[in-house]
Structure 1
Amino acid sequence: MKTGNPAKVMLSPKAQYNLKNAKQYFRDHLQVGDYYAQEHVVQGEWFGQGAERLELQGVVKEKDFIALCEGNHPGTGERLTLRKNTTRTTDGKETANRRIFYDFTISPPKSVSIVGLYGNERIVKIHDEAVRKSMREMEQFALTRVRKMGRSDDRETGNVIGASFRHETSRALDPHLHTHCILMNATFDPVEKRWKALQNFEMLKAQKFIENLYYHELAKGLKKIGYSIENNARDFEIQGITSGLIGKFSKRHQQIDDAVKAHILDGKSVRNVKEFRAQIAHEKRDRKIKESTADKLRSHWGEQMTDAERASLATKNASNPGARKRPDLRAIVDWADEHLFERKSVVEDYQLKAAALARGRGEDFILEKLNFEIEKRQYLKDERGHKITSRATLGRELKIVQMAQNGKGKYVPFCEN
Structure 2
Amino acid sequence: MLSISNIKSSAAVVHYYEHDDYYAKETNEHKELSEWYGKGAERLKLEGKVEKEDFKQVLEGELPNGVELGRVEDGKRVHAPGMDLTFSAPKSVSILAEVYGDKRINEAHDKAVKSVLTYIEENLAYVRKTENGKTYYEKADNILASLFQHNTSRNLDPQLHTHCILANAIRREDGEWRSAYYGEVFENKKFLGMMYRSELAHSLSELGYTIERTHEDGRFEVKEVPQEIIQAFSSRREEIKIALEGYEHVNAKTAANATLVTRQAKTELPKEVLINKWQETLKSFNFNLSEQKEKIVKEREQLRASLNKKSIGETVVDTLSSWLREIKQKFEFNAYAPISHINNSIEEKKEAYTDKSVEERAIEYGVKHLSERASVWEEKELIKVATTYSLGRTSATNILEQIAIYKKEGTLLESKLRPSKEIPVKTLTTKEALAQELESIKLMQGGKGQVEPICNVREINEYIKNTSLNKGQAEAIKVILTTRDRVVGVQGYAGAGKTYMMKQAKELAEKNGYLLIGMAPSASAAKTLEADTGIKSQTVSRFLADYERLATGKEARLNAVKMKQEMQGKVLIIDESSLASTIQFNTLLKVTSDLEVRLVAIGDTKQLGAVEAGKPFYQLQRAGMETAKMTEIVRQKEILLRDAVYDSINARIKQAMFKIDLVPNLWRSS
- Is TM more than 0.5 here? yes
Letter in 2 for 1:404: M
1:153-174 deviation per Cα after TM superposition (whole angstroms, max 9, x unaligned): 2110021110011111111111
- Distance between the aligned counterparts of 1:106 and 1:230, measured in 2? 19
1:232-253 deviation per Cα after TM superposition (whole angstroms, max 9, x unaligned): 3231111132222222211111
1:352-411 deviation per Cα after TM superposition (whole angstroms, max 9, x unaligned): 222222222222565264234442323131275712333323222222222221101212
- Distance between the aligned counterparts of 1:87 and 1:121, measured in 2? 50
Given the superposition, is the C-alpha separation of residues 316 and 307 from structure 1 closer, same or farther in structure 2, using an over 3 Å criterion?
Answer: farther
User: What is the 5 A alignment of 1:173-322?
Assistant: 173-191=156-174, 193-232=175-214, 233-234=216-217, 235-262=219-246, 264=247, 273-290=251-268, 292-305=269-282, 308=285, 310-312=287-289
Q: Is 1:347 matched up with 2:377? A: yes
Given the superposition, is the C-alpha separation of residues 380 and 70 from structure 1 closer, same or farther in structure 2, using an over 3 Å criterion?
Answer: closer
SS of 1:166's equivalent in the other structure is strand
Q: Is 1:126 matched up with 2:103? A: no
- Distance between the aligned counterparts of 2:406 and 2:186, measured in 1? 22
Letter in 2 for 1:126: A
Alignment-derived partner of residue 92 in structure 1: none
Judge conservation of contact 2:60–2:79 (CA < 8 Å) in 1: no
Letter in 1 for 2:41: A
SS of 2:275's equivalent in the other structure is helix
Q: CA deviation at 1:29?
A: 4.9
Alignment-derived partner of residue 370 in structure 1: 402
Given the superposition, is the C-alpha separation of residues 175 and 85 from structure 1 closer, same or farther in structure 2, using an over 3 Å criterion?
Answer: farther
Given the superposition, is the C-alpha separation of residues 372 and 69 from structure 1 closer, same or farther in structure 2, using an over 3 Å criterion?
Answer: closer
1:171-218 deviation per Cα after TM superposition (whole angstroms, max 9, x unaligned): 111111110111011110013x21112111222334344333322221
Q: CA deviation at 1:86?
A: 11
1:267-290 deviation per Cα after TM superposition (whole angstroms, max 9, x unaligned): xx55x7322322332343222324
Alignment-derived partner of residue 482 in structure 2: none
Q: CA deviation at 1:30?
A: 3.2
Given the superposition, is the C-alpha separation of residues 391 and 25 from structure 1 closer, same or farther in structure 2, using an over 3 Å criterion?
Answer: farther
Given the superposition, is the C-alpha separation of residues 309 and 15 from structure 1 closer, same or farther in structure 2, using an over 3 Å criterion?
Answer: farther
Given the superposition, is the C-alpha separation of residues 314 and 159 from structure 1 closer, same or farther in structure 2, using an over 3 Å criterion?
Answer: farther
Given the superposition, is the C-alpha separation of residues 166 and 316 from structure 1 closer, same or farther in structure 2, using an over 3 Å criterion?
Answer: farther
Q: CA deviation at 1:67?
A: 0.8
Unaligned runs of 5+ in 2: 302-349, 418-423, 461-670
TM value normalised by structure 1: 0.82
Given the superposition, is the C-alpha separation of residues 310 and 217 from structure 1 closer, same or farther in structure 2, using an over 3 Å criterion?
Answer: same
SS of 2:192's equivalent in the other structure is helix
1:15-63 deviation per Cα after TM superposition (whole angstroms, max 9, x unaligned): 1122111222355253379xx9x97535421000011111000111111
Given the superposition, is the C-alpha separation of residues 128 and 86 from structure 1 closer, same or farther in structure 2, using an over 3 Å criterion?
Answer: farther
- Distance between the aligned counterparts of 2:207 and 2:118, measured in 1? 24
Given the superposition, is the C-alpha separation of residues 300 and 87 from structure 1 closer, same or farther in structure 2, using an over 3 Å criterion?
Answer: farther
Judge conservation of contact 1:99–1:185 (CA < 8 Å) in 2: yes
Alignment-derived partner of residue 81 in structure 1: 69
Alignment-derived partner of residue 363 in structure 2: 333
- Distance between the aligned counterparts of 1:254 and 1:85, measured in 2? 45
Q: Is 1:30 matched up with 2:22? A: yes
Q: Is 1:52 matched up with 2:42? A: yes
Alignment-derived partner of residue 2 in structure 2: 11
Letter in 1 for 2:199: E
- Distance between the aligned counterparts of 2:9 and 2:212, measured in 1? 41
Given the superposition, is the C-alpha separation of residues 358 and 54 from structure 1 closer, same or farther in structure 2, using an over 3 Å criterion?
Answer: same
User: What is the 5 A alignment of 1:96-111?
Assistant: 98-111=79-92
Given the superposition, is the C-alpha separation of residues 69 and 87 from structure 1 closer, same or farther in structure 2, using an over 3 Å criterion?
Answer: farther
Q: Which has the higher helix share?
A: 2
- Distance between the aligned counterparts of 1:201 and 1:344, measured in 2? 26
Q: CA deviation at 1:102?
A: 0.7
- Distance between the aligned counterparts of 1:370 and 1:276, measured in 2? 40
Q: CA deviation at 1:87?
A: 11
TM value normalised by structure 2: 0.53
Letter in 1 for 2:51: K
Judge conservation of contact 1:188–1:194 (CA < 8 Å) in 2: yes
- Distance between the aligned counterparts of 1:126 and 1:86, measured in 2? 48
Determine which of 416, 438, 457 is the counterpart of 1:398.
Answer: 438
Letter in 1 for 2:220: F
- Distance between the aligned counterparts of 2:284 and 2:148, measured in 1? 33
Letter in 1 for 2:232: K
SS of 2:412's equivalent in the other structure is coil
Q: Is 1:387 matched up with 2:368? A: no
Q: CA deviation at 1:307?
A: 5.2
SS of 1:382's equivalent in the other structure is strand
Judge conservation of contact 1:47–1:164 (CA < 8 Å) in 2: yes
Judge conservation of contact 1:19–1:86 (CA < 8 Å) in 2: no
Letter in 1 for 2:163: H
Judge conservation of contact 1:208–1:351 (CA < 8 Å) in 2: no
- Distance between the aligned counterparts of 2:234 and 2:404, measured in 1? 40
Judge conservation of contact 2:60–2:80 (CA < 8 Å) in 1: no
Given the superposition, is the C-alpha separation of residues 60 and 415 from structure 1 closer, same or farther in structure 2, using an over 3 Å criterion?
Answer: farther
Alignment-derived partner of residue 162 in structure 1: 145
Q: Which has the larger radius of gyration?
A: 2
- Distance between the aligned counterparts of 2:290 and 2:264, measured in 1? 28
Aligned length: 385
Given the superposition, is the C-alpha separation of residues 227 and 412 from structure 1 closer, same or farther in structure 2, using an over 3 Å criterion?
Answer: same
Judge conservation of contact 2:16–2:22 (CA < 8 Å) in 1: yes
Tell me which moved more, 306-315 or 244-253.
Answer: 306-315
Given the superposition, is the C-alpha separation of residues 299 and 186 from structure 1 closer, same or farther in structure 2, using an over 3 Å criterion?
Answer: same
Given the superposition, is the C-alpha separation of residues 87 and 184 from structure 1 closer, same or farther in structure 2, using an over 3 Å criterion?
Answer: farther
Alignment-derived partner of residue 6 in structure 1: none
- Distance between the aligned counterparts of 2:290 and 2:120, measured in 1? 33
CA RMSD between the two structures:
3.2
- Distance between the aligned counterparts of 1:150 and 1:328, measured in 2? 50
- Distance between the aligned counterparts of 2:133 and 2:437, measured in 1? 36
- Distance between the aligned counterparts of 1:152 and 1:39, measured in 2? 45
Judge conservation of contact 1:11–1:107 (CA < 8 Å) in 2: yes
- Distance between the aligned counterparts of 1:121 and 1:373, measured in 2? 34
Q: CA deviation at 1:304?
A: 2.2
Q: Is 1:145 matched up with 2:124? A: no
Judge conservation of contact 2:24–2:51 (CA < 8 Å) in 1: no
Tell me which moved more, 336-345 or 57-66.
Answer: 336-345
SS of 2:209's equivalent in the other structure is coil
Alignment-derived partner of residue 5 in structure 1: none
Alignment-derived partner of residue 3 in structure 1: none
Q: CA deviation at 1:260?
A: 2.5
- Distance between the aligned counterparts of 1:415 and 1:248, measured in 2? 73
SS of 2:36's equivalent in the other structure is strand
